[in-house]
Amino acid sequence: MGSLTSGFFKSFLLHIALGGFLYATANFEMPAPTVMQVQLNTFVEEQEEKVVSAVSVDQKLVEQKIAELKQQEDNKKRAEEKRIRDLEKRAQLARKEREAEARRIKKLEQQRLAKLEEKRKAEAQAKKAKKIEEKQRADAEKARSERLAAEKAAKAASDKRKAEEDALRKAEVARKKREEDEKRRAEEAEKARLKALEEQLLQEQLAKEQAARNKLRKQQVMGEVEKFQALISQRIQSNLLTDEAMRGKECRVNIRLAFNGLVTSVKPLGGDKLVCDAALRAIRLADTLPVSKDKDVFEQLKNINLTIKPEI
């Protein structure tokens, strides 16, 4: 509707402009009126066609806009209808689920009641069976007690007779056993005395032999220790840098060795400082020192104290 009004307004302005133009051209010298009329009519017709065309275009836009608005309304309506249908479907589904759940709960309740009834019947039957069993047990216990009483009386008489016989037999057995025990104890005592004497003599002999072996082993170990101490001192002397100022002086050092002769630590225990410094340098320079593969010898060498005296 606005586009139509705008078209009319444009047409109105166009006619005013044409009227002004005709009024202005009337005061000037122009070519023949006939020619001007033809030209003016053509211009006016063209402008009117343009106005009509504009009005037609604006009308199409209006109709198009109205169609779009109607389409949007239709879309909204269809969307709302779809939303309502979806809600109805969900409500119907929820209702069906509630009904199914109610049926399930009802079925479970029926099952529970049936189980309770079944349990009640089973308990009643069990109670009845228990009473019957208790009566049978009481009757059996009474019969057993009577039987045991009779057996006990018979057994008492038999036991009394056997007891008297057993007493005589046991007395004889005990006498013989005492005699045998005394004889056995005497024999075992003699055997034990002889065995103890034999073991004592054997232990004394083994102790003497072990002492001899230990002495020999100790001598061997000490001989090996002295040999390796000499080798260690020789190795240190070979790396020792001497000076005339060290003549007649010495240093005592403690050396700790690993199983392969690696020097793990070395420290001076006292002596001339110059000799001690030279000895420490020589030992560190050697890095490893001679050690025995014999475990007993190595135990004497792994932590040793040596006196280093420069050979000048």
- What band does 304 get if pLDDT is binned at 50, 70 and 90? very high
Domain-embedded: residue 226: yes
Task: Kindly report which listed range (45-54, 118-127, 157-166, 291-300) carries the lowest average pLDDT score.
Answer: 45-54
pLDDT of residue 22: 42
pLDDT(301) > 80: yes
Domain-embedded: residue 296: yes
pLDDT of residue 279: 93
Domain that includes residue 234, residue range? 220-308
Domain-embedded: residue 264: yes
- What band does 56 get if pLDDT is binned at 50, 70 and 90? low
- What band does 266 get if pLDDT is binned at 50, 70 and 90? very high
Domain-embedded: residue 22: no
Which neighbouring-strand residues pair with 253? 268, 306
On average, the pLDDT of the chain sits at: 80
Domain-embedded: residue 141: no
Domain-embedded: residue 189: no
- State pLDDT tens for residues 244-255: 889 989 999 999
| CATH number of the domain to which 292 belongs | 3.30.1150.10
Our count of domains for the chain comes to 1
- State pLDDT tens for residues 92-118: 888 888 888 888 888 888 888 888 888
Domain-embedded: residue 278: yes
pLDDT of residue 263: 92
pLDDT(55) > 60: no
Domain-embedded: residue 280: yes
3-state helix/strand/coil string of 204-219: HHHHHHHHHHHHHHHH
pLDDT of residue 44: 39
